[in-house]
Amino acid sequence: MENKQKFLQMYRDMVRIRRFEETVSDLFAQDRIRGTTHLYIGEEAVAVGACGAINPDDYITSTHRGHGHCIAKGATLDRMMAELYGKITGYCKGKGGSLHIADLDAGNLGANGIVGGGIPIAVGSGLTAKYKNTGKVTVCFFGDGAANTGAFHESVNLASVWKLPVVFICENNLYAMSTPVKEAFLVQDIAERAKAYGIPGMVVDGMDVLAVKEAVEQAAERARRGEGPSLLECKTYRYLGHSKSDPRAYRTREEEKEWKKRDAIQRYRGWLLENKVASSEEIDRIEQEVEEELEKAVTFAEESPYPPLEEITKDVYLEEDFAEIERKKGVKVVNSINEWSANSKMRTITYREALNEALREELKRDENVVILGEDVGLYGGAYGVTRGLWQEFGDDRVRNTPISEAAIAGCCVGSAITGLRPVGEIMYIDFTTLAMDQLVNQGAKIRYMFGGKARVPMVMRTEGGCGRSSGSQHAQSLEGWFVHVPGLKVVMPGTPFDAKGLLKAAIREDNPILFVEHKMIYNNKGPVPEEEYIIPLGVADVKREGKDVTVVAYSRMVLRALEAAEILAREGIEVEVVDPRTLRPLDIDTICRSVKKTNRVVIVHEETTIGGTGAEMGMQIQTEAFDYLDAPIVRLGAADAPVPCSRYLEDNSIPTVEDIVKAVKNILGK
């Protein structure tokens, strides 16, 4: 038979998944593997049928129950087992483990510890495929529980609007942990939800590998023709509990027995024999070979070494000298506007115009740069930063999205790890709360969880700060939340010069970056060179030299610090103003050099003082420059309250120029 090898490989993979999972269960019981695991026993037909229907270079996104998907996509059992053992020879060097195992070389974009976490990422890989016209599809696996998350609805909607080549596969195993599907859905079939998004929905027997394969082949072909996504609901059953500690008290043993009568492996084995595709001897040989492969995998994992301790902090960011790489390309890399000579050609433009120039230049320079977000097209963005770019570069490069923060962020993650350089826009930093999973658990962690094998070159632009009487949900300064996240870089420029140079650098970096602009300085003007330049991230700038007190401030507060310094200079007090510009990574060396010169420091920011970035800066200054301090560190931040709407209250809830002047005088004893 022409497809005999294909059919036999499918059987082999189903048995490999079953025996791998049974072995893992035993190893956990013996405490030879630590942590947690969510086994795929019973659902093998879905992974194998789906992966057998697509090409080797197509993508998949997976779930917390991801071993089966990984094996079906071509993973070897030895490296799989080593990863679960936490060994350096695992697919992710032991850093991902059961919940986050990935094999990027095979197109597996990773298992996911967050329910529904991989769904927006699939939209991103679908965008890459459509934009680059690669003909690839993404198969997105998720459970029935994930079909009730906002990420599911946002992602399916965005994929349908953009007609992306994604096959959404809901593995309905009847229980989201312990909650029965019948209690979580009013619709009879989850596939009915496809109607709301104008895409095909189909119910498939998830215990029949050939039925799954046929359905996915049809959906994948439709996607390759440019007709958009499909939603398949594969009705299946997990034989064991949600995780290894689940006693399964919420379902009956009679129910389990009924489902096991439809066991996918036994059904497929019978089909192979009845249709004379394979003999019982051939099938027995496959099963024996799997046992031998599995035995070798366990031996390989147990004999492999653990990662060396230096691996704890490796792979958090891409470990390259970005500035040097750009210099070798002939790019002008500068740290300060002072590096230009007095006769250099400068223009005075606004902060908004500087950002717009940076985006335009990077769109022209690199065809992989795309912009996406709410109202970034014809409207030009909420604050006009993308104005004119849609007219110049078109729908493919400047993409309006629905109001879907999680899908926007996840699309950036997925497209970044598959070849694009997305620049997303979240209208207000307050709204990043709706995209926290994709920013913090996905984008920031993927490189590390995948053992350093992923690059995530994405920028998420947003704006923060108060000043327009917008109230508590449109005017926060939340940068401290993100500074706390390893794997994410945080940039907050305060001048047009810095805004342009830092945004260009951020777009070229291969790390995920949160780029925060202040709503009150878009119209501020300043000098910007005509010549192209970039400013490397993680380099502070001494905005004003002084000898008496160091004031560390960023974003709008650096402008207030400079104004305060002018006032104090008239009284003979020379303030040195240091602008970190990048909060993570923080250039503590430049800050401490200034502190060692002035012996006093005032830290100013617009976020609340408690838990703010000033606390981290202060602690690092204490550690690095304690012997040079002649006075306690002073922090000025916003009032410990939500942002008030009243203009009078709002204006006085954050540090003013007068507050900075007073703090400097107090620290000097004047």
Average pLDDT over residues 646-665: 96
For 568, residues 6+ apart whose C-beta sits below 8 A from its C-beta are: 574, 575, 661, 664, 665
- Active-site residue, 361 included: no
Q: Report whether 103 contacts 137 (CB < 8 A).
A: no
Handedness of CA 503, 505, 509, 511 (dihedral sign): negative
Burial class (CB within 10 angstroms; exposed 0-12, middle 13-18, buried 19+) of 174: middle
DSSP 3-state assignment of 231?
Answer: strand
- Active-site residue, 69 included: no
Q: Report whether 606 contacts 478 (CB < 8 A).
A: no
Average pLDDT over residues 142-168: 97
Q: What is the pLDDT of residue 35?
A: 86
**Confidence grade of residue 243 (pLDDT, cut at 50, 70, 90):** confident
Catalytic residue among 69, 100, 153, 474: 474
Over residues 364-418, the pLDDT tens digits come to 999 999 999 999 999 999 999 999 999 999 999 999 999 999 999 999 999 999 9
**Confidence grade of residue 424 (pLDDT, cut at 50, 70, 90):** very high
Residue 244 token pair: 């290894």
Q: Report the alpha-carbon distance of residue 438 to residue 406 in Å, rounded.
A: 6
Catalytic residue among 21, 44, 353, 405: 405
Q: What is the pLDDT of residue 1?
A: 52
Instruction: Report the predicted TM-score, pTM, of the whole model to 2 decimal places.
Output: 0.96
Q: Report the alpha-carbon distance of residue 595 to residue 581 in Å, rounded.
A: 17
pLDDT for 2 beyond 60: no
Q: Report the alpha-carbon distance of residue 235 to residue 333 in Å, rounded.
A: 56
Q: What domains are defined for the chain? A: 4-307 (3.40.50.970), 322-529 (3.40.50.970), 541-667 (3.40.50.920)
Q: Report the alpha-carbon distance of residue 239 to residue 375 in Å, rounded.
A: 47
Instruction: For residue 75, give the nearest of 54, 102, 97 by alpha carbon.
Output: 102
Percent pLDDT > 90 in the chain is 94
Over residues 542-568, the pLDDT tens digits come to 999 999 999 999 999 999 999 999 999
Q: Residue with structure tokens 């970044």?
A: 416
Q: What is the pLDDT of residue 244?
A: 80
Q: What is the pLDDT of residue 320?
A: 86
Q: For residue 372, what is the enclosing H or E element?
A: strand 369-373
